[in-house]
Amino acid sequence: MREYLLTLCVTVAVTYLLTGPVRKFAIAAGAMPEIRARDVHREPTPRLGGIAMFGGLCAGLLIADHLQNLNGVFERSNEPRALLSGAALIWLVGVLDDKFELDALIKLGAQMIAAGVMVIQGLTILWIPVPGIGTVALTQWQGTLLTVALVVITINAVNFVDGLDGLAAGMVCIATCAFFLYAYRIWFGYGIEAAAPATLFAAILMGMCLGFLPHNMHPARIFMGDSGSMLIGLVLAASAISITGQVDPDTMALFVGGERNATHAMLPVFIPLLLPLTIIAIPMADLVLAVVRRTWKGQSPFAADRGHLHHRLLELGHSHSRAVLIMYFWSGLIAFGAVAYSVNSASMWIVLAIAALSALGLVLLLLPRFTPRAPRWAEGLVPPRYRHARRAAEAAAEAAVREDEGTEPAPARPIAAGVSGVNGATAVGPRSRFPDRRKAGSAR
């Protein structure tokens, strides 16, 4: 575990330290597109954050190659080289897109080529466990098509969810943390060496996201762009493919109980297939809904809009930060819930905890619909926003009393005569009684 932590820390440090110079380079290179109608940010922000993330990836692989307990991954497997080859290709295409806005079909073709490069070098799905049937070996063409499809879907799912400051990096980091715990348990808990590459990929991916997040949290100083979102999507897919396609489910069945515990053993056997899908469940749902929504409107599935899940949260009334935290919550609940259920599927406490947290998540989603009002005795203990409605009502009542008594309430601030009001009407009033209003208004 210490060597994985060292790899993680090196990746975090390199990514974090590179992001500042990369930001200056992006500004100098003009990689600051104009604000579009679907954008949430207010000011032009530089992209190309994927350059720093790719530097973190290279640093993580380099340091792992020189560590005693991790260099065996490079000696016994070609998967790290396959990952680096595919990542370099997709990263280069992303950099060009951040600068020159490539066509969507060109990016789709590049994603398929990057997946094909990884397949040629051995990073592919060899078999899949099917419930009720067992392990099904795939032909070369079946494995290639399934691998390419998983890579393309994962890349676009992460790319689609990259719409708010810190959202994509945070969600991928949370999901990858859960994936790392599961892969590490298979590798060192069950002694299945085939899970070692996936464990290493997950540790490096966490470092890439953690190193970039401080620069990307709201208000973001730099965006990862397609060079970053497609890169972390490909690394996430590579981790899932490595553990799903390389770990033999029959070998896992021997470690988890075999015939004696057949019922309880079935879930851990199938988790390598299910977990990669659960960690991208939220981005995947957003991707499917976007494709259906745009196709229903007669638009291209690649046409950008403001109908993503994070846009819906903003429309409900959530703030930028709260919308991101809610997406973090659901991503963590699904990913860590799947891992906890795989460890002890017979425990009802895990099921009840997941159900309770899901109910809490629904309450958080609908929070803007509620209008909480603190009682009078507790107003001093709650934030000011929960006292606003009561204070406004009291101010209105006091103004009404003053009007009935014939006294003029003191104005909150001077209003210039002749200044247009909210509806475009001209404000009129007894100027002679307030001779200094016009002068104060002109000064403003």
Mean pLDDT by 10 residues, the chain (444 residues): 92 96 92 64 81 96 91 89 95 93 91 95 81 74 90 86 84 88 82 85 95 90 92 91 72 54 44 56 70 75 63 69 83 83 73 86 71 62 57 61 56 42 40 40 39
- Which stretches of 187-280 are DSSP H helices? 196-216, 225-246, 249-255, 262-278
368 upstream amide cis, omega within 30 of 0: no
Count each helix (H run) and each strand (E run) in the chain, helices first: 17, 2
pLDDT, residue 426, reads 39
Instruction: Give the C-alpha separation, 120 to 8, whole Å.
Output: 28
With beta carbons less than 8 A apart as the criterion, state whether 123 and 200 touch: no
CB count within 10 Å of CB 432 equals 6
* β-bridge mates for residue 136, sequence order: 128
Q: How far apart are the first and last CA of the chain?
A: 63
Burial 68-94 (b: 16+ CB within 10 A, else e): eebeebbeebebbebbbbbbbbbbebb
According to DSSP, residue 186 is labeled I
pTM of the model: 0.74
